[in-house]
Amino acid sequence: MFLWNRNNPVFPVVLFLLLSGCVSTTAGVLEVAPEPPQRVFFATDRNLNPEKKPGGRFGSGKGEIRYGVATVSFPPDHSIGELESPILSDDHKEHILLTDVALNDYREYSGELSRHVDRTADKSMLVYVHGFNISFEKAARRMAQIVRDLEFNGCPVFYSWPSGGTVSRYSGDEVSVRWSQRNLKRFLGDVASTSGAQSIFLIAHSMGCRALTGAFLDVIAEQPHLKPRFRALLLSAPDIDAEVFRRDMSGRLVQTGAHIVIYTSKRDRALKLSKRMHGSARLGDVDRIPVIIPGIETIDATNVDTSFLGHSYFNGSRSVLSDVYYIINKGLPAEERFSLEAVETTHGRYWKFKE
């Protein structure tokens, strides 16, 4: 629509090109204007590789915490809720691609982070922790997609723990995510204390919910003055023991004053497998009704995910992304988010997406 505004000086040039046969379609003209790249800050305790390609800079082994900025390109026709991924070869016109990884020492990183926060109107920050079976490259691409789809204008940061990046490494990932919790706690405390961010939103998926929930509670326990800076904790498909969460974590989370949200699904095959492996219910799984805890919003996302595993609805569903948008950008509680409807049970109220 921009190109075809007659008051736009570009209009005569485009019209001339079309009439002269230099381009045959409007799409041909639009191809010369790719989507701008998305820059996202990162911290990771993965091992550093000698490989210079961006996707191979970090491996699946444990390492010291390193910091930097990842740059991710987007195809011109990116669709909300899609992580357009290469299969045989990369194509910047078709796929979301990690194009650069720039490492910084902590002092330089902290300064750039603070400057970015200072440029945002509400001094906001979004911190994302990925789940099981995710490489550094995929974590960066997924973070960039989430930021773009949420239209988040604050400071985006992701923390990448040393997941093996394969389904067969599930047990190893459990060890790694537990190992990373202390590093993540240190990182959260540092950015909350020094970045200048006044509104910090925390998001985790699957196994990453274990590390983020534990790290967040540890930060608040050690530095209670930071409580007001953490506005929300969103747990998507959390692979956490449901009863351990209810007994040991839920009450402490409610006391932080943050907006706590749990996204669950009856169709989550990954969590049903985890339940069989551990012999105990998972927080993100739904048997008859989801886990209901006073002071915490539980959202049943069963209706919105049609994928085979039913585990990635957080970044793959427009409905869930829209719901997250209204939490982060508008601060709305469940009863004011238009896509949800309340379900009353003898155990209390939970919410589900409208069909």
CA angle 122, 127, 130 (to 5 degrees): 155
269, 295 contact by CB (below 8 A): no
pLDDT number for residue 247: 97
- Whose CA is closest to 203, among 214, 193, 213? 213
How far does CA 250 lie from the centroid of its chain? 22
User: d(Cα 57, Cα 69) in Å, to the nearest integer?
Assistant: 12
Q: 219-248 pLDDT, tens per residue?
A: 999 999 999 999 999 999 999 999 999 999
Judge if 28 and 145 occupy the same domain.
Answer: no
For the chain, how many structural domains are there in total?
Answer: 2
Q: Which domain holds residue 83?
A: 35-353
Same domain, 87 and 14: no
Q: At which residue do the structure tokens 């569903």 appear?
A: 317
| Residue 22: predicted pLDDT | 41
pLDDT of 154-202, one tens digit each? 999 999 999 998 888 999 999 999 999 999 999 999 999 999 999 999 9
| pLDDT at res. 307 | 67
Do residue 163 and residue 16 come from a single domain?
Answer: no
Kindly state whether residues 290 and 308 are assigned to the same domain: yes
What residues in the chain have per-residue pLDDT under 70? 1-34, 88, 305-308
Q: Tell me how far apart the terminal alpha carbons of the chain are, to the nearest angstrom.
A: 33
Cβ partners under 8 Å of residue 323, min gap 6: 299, 337, 339, 340, 353
Phi, psi dihedral angles at 259 (to 5 degrees)? -80, 110
CATH of the domain at 123: 3.40.50.1820
CA dist., res. 136 & res. 142, Å (int)? 10
The sign of the torsion formed by the CA atoms of 345, 326, 94, 11 equals positive
The confidence score (pLDDT) of residue 308 equals 60
Residues 284 and 304 placed together within one structural domain of the fold:
yes
Long-range contacts of 82-88 (CB under 8 A, 24+ apart): 82/145, 82/316, 83/141, 83/142, 83/145, 83/315, 83/316, 85/141
